[in-house]
Structure 1
Amino acid sequence: MSTTVTPQPPVADDQVIERTVLAERPRSWWQLPTALTVLALAAFVLFGLRVPSGAHTTFQIAREGNLNPGGVIPETVDVPSAATAIVLAVLCLAIATFFWWASATIRGLDRRVRVTLLVVFGVLWVLSFLTWVNAGISQAVDLGSILQATLALAVPLTFGALSGVLSERAGLVNIAIEGQLLFGAFGAALVSSLVGGAAGPWAGLVAAPIMALVIGALLALFAVGYHVQQIIVGVVLNVFAVGLTSFFFGSVMQSDPARFNAPSRLPSWRIPVLADIPLVGRVLFDQNILVYLMWVIVALLTVALFRTRWGLRVRAVGEHPRAADTVGIDVARTRWTNVLMGSAVAGLGGATLTIGTNVAFGENMSAGKGYIALAAMILGRYHPVGALLAALMFAFADALQLRLSGGGRLPSEFLLMLPYIVTLFAVAGVVGRVRVPAADGEPYVKE
């Protein structure tokens, strides 16, 4: 039996060829709408329906002396707790419903629209929570203080997460962020105390990234030079950092704290007019140089990684090092460079723990912040802006824990779990499956 094949006419050179893409719903399409729906219903039931009858919540927005012509923005806002929490929960439920509709109709949302809606959902949900937890309390909820505490807690996490982004985009797993933060804090405190005076904190600011480079150089030496398993090297370096700083803290710093471990602080740079904006003025425009450096590094790193030739080469090394080597990119040098740059950035985060907050160095004072920064990097999808937003989310949960620790509506055990509960919901519902750089953690041996 023969089959006749009808020849197809040739395609002219100037003929337009249209590509047809069939819409296909991803397998995890239900995760984000489900998580948002659960959170919205929890806000409605727990925060809206369980508020004491007749209770009110007071929020402090502006302060005396803020840039507030004519008193347009009230200093405090008093709202009925039950009605406010219910309205906010219903708005959250509306956003969740929109995500269900967009997913069910296979309508791809623009990334900016998606992120904006998620941020709005988070703000509404947190306001509903604050309305419930502060219902009937005479003291006003100072939103400005909460935001200030959030930023202060987020700075070391952001620097640590950016260190991870630099390393892992080049294909090297950086578990040693904890040690880099600790060495940076130690170096900043020690050098600042030895120099003393007004120049002390600035000398400590220079010393912090240099001290952190020690951990970065050891990580690159063993992981890139000798191809040792990267996770094991990172864990060992963290233990090494804790042991070495604890030894010098006990044998040197405690023997003469005034000389070797005197608290000092970088001066704050206040931007006139902008610092007087209600609610966010002091948070954004009355900070020390480390906070301003954080914003600058996030912006520069975003542009460098995704808009420059250098960033293309770094990402090529992290995705397919052999192909990068084939076109002339030095894989080992690229990984060395990125690890050292990331270590210096993490050292700035360590400086935040001492000279950034006027605190003397303490034994193991990083207290796991390097691992939280690593989680922020993964939650942020290995992107500088995503890492910043994830660090702010972790820090906000921690700030809420500190703000509410004196209240009686929530048990203290739950408050201690709050940052990790937020993490679980975020990883399970918002991020889902994160795509790791293909060659991340894989040593490269040049043939």
Structure 2
Amino acid sequence: MDYALLVVTLLFATLRLATPLIFASMGGMMSERSGVVNVALESFMLVGAFVGAVAGHSASHAWIGWIAATIAGLAIGALYALFVIELRADQIVTGMAFNLLVMGVIPFMTKILYNSTGSTPALPAESRFTFEPLAMAFLLVIALTWWLRKTRSGLWLLFAGEHPEALMASGVSVRKVRWIAVTLSGAFAAWGGASLSLYLASSYSPMMTGGRGFMALAALIFGKWKPLPAFAACLLFAFADAVQIRLQGTQIGGVEIPVQFVQILPYIVTIIALAGFIGASRPPKALGKEL
């Protein structure tokens, strides 16, 4: 076995598989650092994946799909903000309701558009992304790290989640900061979904996120709600995913490992990471607290 080739293959697979997690975790960071709990990342990703695939196939262009996914992400992010900020609905219950709603609505939409509750038509191979989402994910992490540390609006976001009273005393609207943060959270998570259907695959398939929204939330918690540590956690979870893909079909002592045991590896790593480090993570002080 060529171990150098194996290492390179796993490295590239890890980077590709980390792309949707990075986008979703950065979206979750925007929302939660502003003080709004966001367990709806899975639904945001599904919307981005579906709308991106539909628009990309219709225009035979991945960038058109990406733009459509961005608009859809902004829309569902704003809708979530309406419920949890303006109507003061329970944030965890609302997030789970969004997840369940989107899971039910998308098959209904595929039935209307394509007379099928399965996958959308595939985007031509030459129209798919090759590396662009991966580069954008890296740039997003760098940009958010700089923005939070060096800009006034970045500090507003941090204060909205830590000391909203101090932010209000300085004349800045905490409600407006949270609205913008949650809306952008929808767009970033939708990019994660679009990277699945336009980059890692060529179409939307039912439930193609496979729990990545929750894994991204776990990466955010594991990374203590900070961009670079969350980015590192995404790489860890993606590496576990790459390894499980590589291990499928592997035999030990002439007996093939059941594929179900192999496929749960990323989720086991996620649980172990959270179980071992959740006590060391301190969430933003105002997370989940109403104004």
TM over 0.5: yes
Residues 111 and 117, structure 2, Cα contact 8 Å, conserved in 1: no
Q: Name 2:15's counterpart in structure 1.
A: 151
**Aligned residue number for residue 89 of structure 2:** 228
Aligned to 2:74: 213
Question: Aligned to 2:28, what secondary structure does the other structure show?
Answer: helix
Equivalences, count: 286
- Deviation per CA, 1:252-309: give whole Å up to 9, x if none: 2245999x633245556xxxxxxxxxxxxxxxxxx52111100100000011112221
Dislocated runs of 4+, deviation >4 Å: 255-258, 265-268
Residue of 312, 315, 338 corresponding to 2:155: 312
1:325 aligned onto 2:268: no
User: Which of the numbers 240, 261, 281 marks the counterpart of 2:121?
Assistant: 261
Aligned partner of 1:60 in structure 2 is 3
Larger radius of gyration: 1
1:340 to partner: Cα distance: 1.0
The partner residue of 2:57 within 185, 190, 193 is 193
Q: Using the TM superposition, give the Cα deviation of residue 160 of structure 1 relative to its aligned residue in structure 2, in angstroms.
A: 0.6
Contact kept? 2:46, 2:193, Cα under 8 Å: yes
Structure number with greater CO (CA < 8 Å, separation at least 6) is 2
- Rate the CA distance shift 1:60–1:153 in 2: closer, same or farther, 3 A: same
1:155/1:352 contact within 8 Å kept: yes
Please name the residue that 1:163 is paired with. Answer: 27
Conservation of the 8 A alpha-carbon contact between 1:249 and 1:363: no
Q: Distance in 2 between matches of 1:220 and 1:323?
A: 22
Give the deviation of 1:366 after TM superposition. 1.5
Shift of 1:186: 0.8
Q: Answer whether contact 2:31 2:185 (CA < 8 A) is retained.
A: yes
Q: Alpha-carbon deviations, 1:134-176, whole Å to 9, x = none?
A: xxxxxxxx11221222122111111111100000000001111
For 1:310, the aligned partner's letter is S
Letter in 1 for 2:59: V
Give the deviation of 1:334 after TM superposition. Answer: 0.2
Q: 1:325 to 1:256 in 2, by over 3 A?
A: closer
- SS in structure 2 of the partner of residue 359 of structure 1: coil
Task: Give the 3 Å change call, closer, same or farther, for CA 241–300 of structure 1 in structure 2.
Answer: same
Instruction: Name the counterpart of 2:213.
Output: 370
- Cα distance in 2, alignment partners of residues 240 and 407 from structure 1: 38
Q: 1:236 to 1:255 in 2, by over 3 A?
A: closer
Determine which of 200, 204, 217 is the counterpart of 1:361: 204
Distance 1:429 1:242 in 2: 31
Q: Is the alpha carbon distance of 1:267 and 1:368 closer, same or farther for their aligned partners in structure 2, counting shifts above 3 Å?
A: closer
Deviation at 1:432, TM superposition (A): 4.0
Q: 1:421 and 2:255 equivalent?
A: no
* Distance in 2 separating the partners of 1:421 and 1:366: 17
**Which structure features the higher share of helix residues?**
2
Let me know the Cα RMSD of the aligned residues.
2.1
For the 8 Å contact 2:222–2:277, the answer to whether it is kept is no
Question: Is residue 118–residue 205 contact of structure 2 (8 Å, CA) maintained in 1?
Answer: no
Among candidates 23, 29, 37, match of residue 173 of structure 1 = 37
**Cα distance change, pair 205–436 in 1 and its aligned pair in 2 (3 A):** same
Contact 1:397-1:418 within 8 A present in 2 as well = yes
CA distance in 2 between counterparts of 1:430 and 1:436 reads 13
* One-letter identity of the residue aligned with 2:225: Y
What residue identity is the alignment partner of 1:443? E
CA gap 1:443/1:364 in 2 versus in 1, 3 angstroms: same
Residue 442 (1) aligns with residue 285 (2):
no
Distance (Å, rounded) in 2 between the aligned partners of 1:193 and 1:416: 30
Alpha-carbon separation, structure 1, partners of 2:269 and 2:205:
28
Q: Tell me whether 1:238 sits opposite 2:99 in the alignment.
A: yes
Whether the 8 Å contact between 1:156 and 1:349 is mirrored in structure 2 is yes
Secondary structure of the residue aligned to 1:388 is helix
1:381 match: 224
Structure 1 residue runs of 5 or longer lacking an equivalent are 1-57, 63-141, 269-286
Q: 1:342 to 1:405 in 2, by over 3 A?
A: same
Counterpart of 2:3 in structure 1: which amino acid? Q
Give 1:208's aligned amino acid.
Answer: A
